[in-house]
Structure 1
Amino acid sequence: MKVRETARRQYIQIVDAAAAQLQTLRTPGEGWLSTLRKALGMSGAQVAARAGVSRAAVYQAERNECDGAITIAQMHKLAEAMGGRFVYAVIPDTGRVEDMIQAQARRVAKDLVLGASAHMALEQQSLPREQTAQRIDELTDELARDMPPGFWHAG
């Protein structure tokens, strides 16, 4: 196995492990900052004093978090002011990294095979449905394994 492939496998393990741990985690409706602050029984003024910001800045940060407009630095600062820590992750929406790669490979394979089949049909040379499906499966495996340039451009 090449060094590059070994490194990619390690990245996959990291992402898949995080995804498995966070599978059921959902952001509370009020956001994490507000939820932790209220769970601790802290007022906005108390968090503000500990963070060295105004009370208005705390409430604005809580609103910004819900709107997706808060910065990572703000999340860190306010989490630490409450005695917590801010963590984030980017994980597959569903399943594992390999599932994402396999799904993309199937999309690309279908596009390629069905595109070629359409041209062949014009010349009355199209493959039977079973052979087309088999070719899509074979090409899917090949694309998932090799991930050629342009692999992620489609779909």
Structure 2
Amino acid sequence: MSVKQAVREQYQAIVDAFQGSNIETPTEGWIRTVRKALGMSGAQLAKRMGVTRARIAQAEKAELDGGVTLKSMQAAAEAMGCRFAYVFVPPDAIENLIIAQARKKARAIVGTAGKHMALEHQAVNDSRTQHEVSRLMQELMYEMPPDFWEDK
């Protein structure tokens, strides 16, 4: 195993820890939801953050609109005694996302080669095509060429 592969596997383990987590943003957003859960008014949160009540209302609205900054979220969380975290939650294990991309690229490469071979009356059967897709998938996953995530 190469150092590059070992490092990638370490990163995969970090991301896979969140896989399958069902983290959903509350309908009122995290700032308002946590604030209300604490029984804290907007004015009280504003005072703790050293901003105006209007700024809290803006932050709560910006969160719902997708325009809140990470810095604002962190400041609000800390003012409410919480820790702010954001994550990317993969729908499946990272390895499965890599396998799917390798399969997609391998099929495209083999498909293109198959078209050229057919034009030259050298078409191969489906079994051989599937074997080549599998072989190429393994090669792509091992080498992860620079264009691995590019769709051609």
Common fold: TM-score over 0.5: yes
TM-fit CA distance, 1:42: 1.1
Distance, in Å, in 2 between the alignment partners of 1:39 and 1:48 is 16
* Amino acid aligned to 2:110: V
Runs of 4+ in 1 over 2 A off after TM superposition: 1-5
Task: Tell me which amino acid in the other structure corresponds to 1:112.
Answer: I
Structure 2 residue aligned with 1:145: 142
Identity of aligned residues (%): 47
Provide, for residues 77-110 of structure 1, a one-character-per-residue CA deviation record: whole Å limited to 9, x for no partner: 0111111111011232x10110111011001001
Tell me the residue number matched to 2:3.
3
Q: CA deviation at 1:133?
A: 1.5
Matched residue pairs, number?
152
2:102 aligned residue: 105
| C-alpha deviation, 1:3, in angstroms | 2.5
Change (3 A) 1:68 1:17: same
- Secondary structure at 2:89's aligned position in 1? coil
Q: Map 1:12-51 to 2 at 5 A.
A: 12-20=12-20, 23-51=21-49
Q: Which runs of 5+ in 2 are unaligned?
A: none
| In 1: Cα distance, 2:132 partner to 2:4 partner | 28
- More displaced stretch, 53-62 vs 82-91: 82-91
Q: Measure the CA separation in 2 of the matches of 1:78 and 1:99.
A: 36
Query: Residue deviations 1:52-98, cap 9 Å, x none?
Result: 11111111101111111111110010111111111011232x10110
User: 1-side partners of 2:65 and 2:124: how far apart?
Assistant: 51
Give the distance between the partners of 2:77 and 2:114, measured in 1 at CA: 56
Gaps of 5+ in 1: none
> 1:125 maps to which residue?
122
Return the TM-score normalized by structure 1. Answer: 0.92
Partners in 2 of 1:145 and 1:57 — Cα distance?
A: 50
Query: Which of structures 1 and 2 has the larger relative contact order (alpha carbons within 8 angstroms, sep 6+)?
Result: 2
User: Relative to structure 2, which stretch is displaced further, 106-115 or 134-143?
Assistant: 134-143
Segment of structure 1 superposing worse, 11-20 or 111-120: 11-20
Residue 40 of structure 1 deviates from its aligned partner by 1.0
Q: Secondary structure at the match of 1:18?
A: coil
**CA RMSD, 1 decimal:** 1.3
SS at 2:17 equivalent:
helix
> In the TM superposition, what are the counterparts of 1:85-96 in structure 2 within 5 Å?
85-92=83-90, 94-96=91-93
TM-score, normalized by length of structure 2?
A: 0.94
